[in-house]
Amino acid sequence: MARPVLKWAGGKRRLRFEIDKLLPPDHAGRNYHEPFFGGGALFFHLEPRGGSINDVNERLIRFYKVVRELPQELIEEVNRYEYGKERYYELRTRFNEGELEPVEEAAIFLYLNKTGYNGLYRVNSKNKFNVPFGRYKKPAIVHPGRIIRASELFRRFEIYCERFTYIKEVAEEGDLVYLDPPYLPKSDTADFTAYSKLGFGFDDHLMLRDLCLELDEKGVYFIQSNSFVEPIMDAYRGTEFKIHTVEASRAINRVISDRGRIPEVLITNIPNV
Ligand SMILES: C[S@@+](CC[C@H](N)C(=O)[O-])C[C@H]1O[C@@H](n2cnc3c(N)ncnc32)[C@H](O)[C@@H]1O
């Protein structure tokens, strides 16, 4: 059971045991794909044998490629950056302005992730990373063991930077796919779809539903997490998929009163055992 390398908004570490209950007993022998990888909490929990991971966030994917190819160099580079507010803003500017070498870019990415406010990844309309300093007392910035383990695991995987529909080409009969899209906001003020410039709207959720139907047709198992809201439930009415509700607390939410337990669903075509 490995641990994620990054903090990530909407990370699903807290759902891992709920998801475990739905997996087929022979899941360890199946190829695994994660089209909305983010921090990859489930991936690290399962340590699957092979398959693909993907995210539309280019910097995130460049970071993971450095983790896979040059883990030791990455660790050494991050260790050179001392912790502090001034250093944070200096590195943030460098990250936004420079044409950086892959190892330096990845090292700054990790530093900003561990020392920025709430581990958020947020960019402005010009794709400039604009998260403020996080004011932690003594944050752990590098976990060398986690990076080395991630590197070993990633060597068994294809790493893509595409939209989630790439999976149509890649998943084969018998494979397992975990889908964790940005959730539909409960309201505009509670919106947290700023993972990328592209956003993820209701049309994308309908496209994702159609993709699940295609995967099912092809004999691919999938589990999708989503929020328990009317439009999503309507979209899946009429399919034969199973919908399990789970309660989970969400740490990152701009509306303080909305913190706490927000019902979520797990949608799957995996038969009960
Ligand atoms: C809820 S997060 C995934 C969190 C992840 N399961 C974890 O445990 O950290 C959703 C991810 O989908 C990515 N994303 C957004 N739109 C996408 C798209 N159209 N295709 C692929 N990935 C997308 C975002 O960059 C974000 O990292």
Reported as a pLDDT band with limits 50, 70 and 90, residue 199 is confident
Classify residue 152: in a domain, yes or no: no
Burial code (b: 16+ CB inside 10 Å, e: under 16) for 147-164 equals: bbbbbebbeebebbbeeb
Give strand pairing partners of 265.
226, 245
Same domain, 139 and 204: no
Same domain, 174 and 45: yes
Same domain, 119 and 74: yes
pLDDT at 196 (0 to 100): 43
Question: What is the rounded CA–CA span in Å between residue 6 and residue 186?
Answer: 26
| 256: containing domain | 13-56+162-268
Residue that finishes a domain, picked among 146, 176, 194: 146
Q: Ligand 1 within 6 A of 121 CB?
A: no
Q: Ligand 1 within 6 A of 114 CB?
A: no
Give the closest residue (by CA) to ligand 1 atom 17: 56
Residue that finishes a domain, picked among 113, 146, 179: 146
Q: Ligand 1 within 6 A of 269 CB?
A: no
Same domain, 80 and 107: yes
Higher-pLDDT residue of 199 and 172 is 172
Give just the sign of the alpha carbon dihedral 213, 15, 272, 27.
positive
Cα dist from 114 to 75, 202, 256, whole Å = 14, 31, 22
Classify residue 99: in a domain, yes or no: yes
Classify residue 154: in a domain, yes or no: no
pLDDT at 198 (0 to 100): 58
CATH number at residue 109: 1.10.1020.10
pLDDT tens across 202-254, in order? 999 999 999 999 999 999 999 999 999 999 999 999 999 999 999 755 555 44
CATH number at residue 171: 3.40.50.150
Cα dist from 186 to 24, 204, 244, 252, 264, whole Å = 32, 16, 19, 14, 12
Give the closest residue (by CA) to ligand 1 atom 8: 11
Q: Ligand 1 within 6 A of 182 CB?
A: yes
The single residue listed with the structure tokens 């990633």 is: 154
For the chain, the first-to-last Cα distance in angstroms comes to 23
**pTM recorded for the entire structure:** 0.92
Section 184-213 average pLDDT: 73
Section 124-140 average pLDDT: 94
Question: What is the rounded CA–CA span in Å between residue 42 and residue 44?
Answer: 5
Give the closest residue (by CA) to ligand 1 atom 13: 36
Same domain, 50 and 71: no
Burial of 166 from C-beta contacts in 10 A (0-12 / 13-18 / 19+): middle
Same domain, 18 and 101: no
Give the closest residue (by CA) to ligand 1 atom 3: 38
Instruction: Please state, rounded to an integer, the average pLDDT across all residues of the chain.
Output: 91
Report the share of the chain in percent with pLDDT over 90. Answer: 85
Same domain, 92 and 22: no
Same domain, 166 and 260: yes
Counting the structural domains of the chain, the total is: 2
